[in-house]
Amino acid sequence: MTDREIIKKNLEEINNNIEKACLKAGRKSSDIQIIGVTKTIDIERINILKDFGIKTFGENKAQELLEKYDSIQDASWHFIGNLQTNKVKYIIDKVELIQSVNSLKLLNEINKRAFNINKNIPILLEINIANEPSKNGIKEEEIPFFLENMQSFKNITLNGLMCIAPFVENIEQNAQYFRKMRKLFVDIKAKNKDNINMRYLSMGMTNDYSIAIEEGANMIRIGTGIFGKRNY
Ligand SMILES: *Cc1c(COP(=O)(O)O)cnc(C)c1O
């Protein structure tokens, strides 16, 4: 099969699964946004994905995002990886959403760089929902501290939450974490604070997006499921 045929077939399967998960949960599939995770994927295949209507791409390295940015027209970029503070200035004018904000230092730097270019940058807080030592993300109990600090960052808007669920044999085990994320999302939304406009619950990847949707995700980040296994 050609790359185009593979991507088309994979997308059909994903869309079917999204429909099924939505049906199960009583949700509309039009409410689910797919972010095409394009790390390590070449420009040609990213353009194919764009032809099929997915125009928002997730990258986890600043350098790689910069390399691709100029080669792909009419696309939006989300940063989804661990962002070093010294890289913020390179991507700040190129990203539609920074999904992986996991420290106060990073928030501070994003706010400063956004102020410099007179923009407001939407972000998600990355939550280490299963308290895994190996993972980035802020702990559930640290959230109030971040929300308090948000009030002073005038060039940032908190648009929601993101998580990477644990790697498990039985993906049903992740339902509990997705459910917890949804509850956190709803609780923050209810607070109705300045600089906070909760719109996106970004959870679910190739292995677990169906469960994530059943538990309330409205943004899923898929790489392998679209392009096949990555060659690092
Ligand atoms: C790589 C990556 C994904 C996509 O993972 P797949 O299993 O390939 O779908 C999603 N989110 C983040 C943060 C990633 O780094």
Answer whether residue 196 is part of any domain: yes
Ligand 1 atom closest to the CA of 209, numbered from 1: 9
Question: Could you say which DSSP state residue 138 is in?
Answer: B
Residue 197 Cα to ligand 1 midpoint, Å, equals: 25
Residue 223 lies in domain: 3-227
Ligand 1, pocket-test mutation among 95, 99, 205, 224, most atoms within 8 A of CB: 205
pLDDT at 221 over 70: yes
- Structure tokens of 97? 């959403």
Rounded to an integer, the average pLDDT of 25-30 is: 98
Instruction: Measure 61 CA to ligand 1 centroid, in angstroms.
Output: 12
From ligand 1's centre to the CA of 193, what distance in Å? 30
* pLDDT at residue 158 is higher than 90: yes
Q: Is 153 exposed, middle or buried (0-12, 13-18, 19+ CB in 10 A)?
A: buried
Number of domains in the chain: 1
Q: In the prediction, which pLDDT does 22 show?
A: 98
Q: Which atom of ligand 1 is nearest to the CA of 207?
A: 7
In a domain, 41, yes or no: yes
The enclosing domain of 212 has a CATH number of 3.20.20.10
Query: Are 198 and 158 spatial neighbours (Cβ–Cβ below 8 Å)?
Result: yes
As for ligand 1, residues whose beta carbon falls within 6 Å of it are 37, 39, 60, 80-81, 164, 205-206, 221-225
According to the model, what pLDDT value does residue 232 have?
65
58 domain-assigned: yes
Q: What is the pTM of this model?
A: 0.97
Q: What is the mean pLDDT of residues 144-164?
A: 96
Does 232 fall in a domain?
no
Share of the chain above pLDDT 90, in %: 97
Dump pLDDT digits (tens) for 171-198.
999 999 999 999 999 999 999 899 999 9
Mean pLDDT on 142-158: 96
Packed helices 143-150 and 175-191: angle between N→C axes, nearest 10 degrees: 30
Flag whether 110 is in a domain: yes
pLDDT tens-digit map of 41-63? 999 999 999 999 999 999 999 99
The arithmetic mean of pLDDT across residues 7-34, rounded, is 98
Give CA–CA dist 146/69, Å, rounded: 30
pLDDT at 231: 77
Average confidence score pLDDT of the chain: 97
Q: Average pLDDT of 139-146?
A: 97
Task: Locate the ligand 1 atom nearest the alpha carbon of residue 206 and give its number.
Answer: 9
74-126 pLDDT, tens digit each: 999 999 999 999 999 999 999 999 999 999 999 999 999 999 999 999 999 99
